[in-house]
Amino acid sequence: MTSEKNLYTKAVHVRATWTRRFNKVLFASEHKNAGFPTIDINVKAGRAHLTMKTMTTFDYVYKHHYNDADWFMKADDDTYVFVENLRYFLSSQNASEPVYFGRTFLQATKQGYNGGGPGYVVSREALRRFAAREKGLCDDDLGAEDVKFGRCMELLGVKTGKTIDSMRGNRFHITSLILSPRFLEHGSYTGKDGALRKLNMLSNYTISLHKLQPYQMYAIEYLVYHLKTYGTTPAYERKRTPTRRK
């Protein structure tokens, strides 16, 4: 999800980093853009109409791409997704079940809703139910987009799936956490012995971070996918390294 004003300040960097690892990527803006690959959903501009943008985009995805995948993820243009961890998590889930995954907030609806910032993942069955909803059943504009979508999912019998790992760590995060000074508030504090506490809220298999600047996305790309430290090369790479014999 992006906008006209963010195409070349945010969306272009999302396109250059983590989205390259998805099977298919669509950029939803207010209108189709000749210079950037956005889909034509023709909705009103502005934060107040994020609900309409989300609903219309999922309808578009169902109409044009329903048979292309088992899972469909909505993310913002300041979100970073570790696609390998997402695939790993979804490998044990059933796309035929009416479920959607994300960072669940237990408020606003009976079962809670998944926050829009960290992104949420809709199963194939959930998308089918959404596309087949009765007219007027779900609010299609105004209000908080993630809450409105969550209420719609609940009305359609789509459950909020559990994403907390076995160590009680969150996989979807509403902030950039360790990449931001806010980590001191949200991620840890320093004990009397100088050690960091409360790190267990961060899953070792984190799926998404939110509120990232473009430079932080490139930093992650380098640190995770390019940086190597001497002496810790994986065994499979060591085996491929030729050895010199006397």
DSSP string, the chain: ---GGGIIIIIHHHHHTGGGGSS---EE-SS-BTTBBEE------SGGGHHHHHHHHHHHHHHHHGGG-SEEEE--TT-EE-HHHHHHHHTTS-TTSSEEES-EES-SSSS-EE-STT-EEEEHHHHHHHHTPPTTSS--SSS-HHHHHHHHHHHTT-EE-----TTS-BSB-SS-GGGSTTHHHHT-EE-TTS-EE-GGGB-TT--EE-S--HHHHHHHHHHHHT---TT---HHHHHHS-----
Please provide the distance, in angstroms rounded to a whole number, between the alpha carbons at the two ends of the chain.
Answer: 59
CATH number of the domain bearing residue 48:
3.90.550.50
pLDDT of amino acid 28: 92
Q: How far apart are CA 201 and CA 47, in angstroms?
A: 30
Average the pLDDT over each of 22-26, 73-77, 101-105, 143-147 and give the range with the smallest value: 143-147
Residues above pLDDT 70, as percent of the chain: 84
Q: How many domains does the chain have?
A: 1
Stretch among 53-57, 77-81, 92-96, 164-168 having the lowest mean pLDDT: 164-168
Under the banding of pLDDT at 50, 70 and 90, the label for residue 198 is: low
pLDDT value of position 33? 81
Structure tokens at 149: 């979508």
Question: Would you say residue 171 lies in a domain?
Answer: no
- State if pTM tops 0.95: no
In a domain? residue 49: yes
**31 lies in a domain?**
yes
Whether residue 146 lies inside any domain: the answer is yes
pLDDT digits (tens, 9 = 90+) for 43-70: 877 777 889 999 999 999 999 999 999 9
Quick one: pLDDT at residue 178? 64
Mean pLDDT score of the chain: 86
**Residue 85 located in a structural domain:** yes
Q: Flag whether 105 is in a domain.
A: yes
Residue 75, in any domain of the structure: yes
Among 2-16, 104-118, 169-183, the range scoring the smallest mean pLDDT is 169-183
pLDDT given for residue 73 in this prediction: 97
Can you tell me the mean pLDDT for 145-156? 95
Asked if residue 231 has pLDDT above 70, the reply is yes
Domain extent for 66:
4-160
